[in-house]
Amino acid sequence: EAVANALMHRAWDVNAQIRVLMFDDRIEVTSPGGLPVGLSEEEYLKGNVSVLGNPILGNIFYRLHLVEILGTGIRRIRESYRDSANNPEFEVSENSIKVTLPVMNVLKLSEDEELVYKALSKTMPRSSGEITEAVPFGKSKTTTILKKLVKNNYVTVVGRGRGTKYKL
């Protein structure tokens, strides 16, 4: 989304390139050219108004399904980080716009582990019985998977004994 925005909104009359830098903890996308005349930084950051630097390219991206709806890029980027501890940053200057996207942890889970993981919540701890009801296998397999997820620090244990619950 950030790269598509950079291409569609960049100032094509500026002799500079879009820059994409990848680091272990973030990705930075910098587009030459500032905001279009008449568009405030506040409007840009809220994602309420979009003025395409290149409407033809924007239409092509839309028709190729590379963007969903024109004018929703910033909101969609923010939404994708809604449950993340780190949020994207947007820096608007007179001659460039820089979007910094924190790298979210990518979990390496088997299909069964993913089912158990998806049955968990960040805010509401769930018992192994509740989790077992939400997945297509028995309590023994669910418990084994939960123990592995805890060992890999993907899941946190809350309580002890019969009151043991699990959360993300």
Alpha carbon distance 26, 88 (integer Å): 9
pLDDT number for residue 27 = 95
What is the crossing angle of helices 55-63 and 2-9, to 10°? 150
Alpha carbon distance 72, 49 (integer Å): 8
pLDDT, tens digit (0-9, with 9 covering 90-100), for 130-143: 999 999 999 999 99
- With bands split at pLDDT 50, 70 and 90, how would you rate the model's confidence at 117? very high
Average pLDDT over residues 8-18: 83
Average pLDDT over residues 50-55: 74
Question: How is residue 167 annotated by DSSP?
Answer: E
Find, among 92, 90, 138, the residue nearest to 112 by Cα. 138
pLDDT number for residue 20 = 96
pLDDT number for residue 71 = 64
Please, what are the domains in the chain?
2-102 (3.30.565.60), 111-167 (1.10.10.10)
The residue with tokens 């023994």 is 140
pLDDT number for residue 123 = 84
pLDDT, tens digit (0-9, with 9 covering 90-100), for 86-113: 889 999 888 889 999 998 766 778 999 9
Does residue 36 carry a pLDDT above 80? no
- With bands split at pLDDT 50, 70 and 90, how would you rate the model's confidence at 70? low
More confident: 45 or 141: 141
Does residue 166 carry a pLDDT above 70? yes
Does residue 115 carry a pLDDT above 70? yes
Average pLDDT over residues 23-43: 86
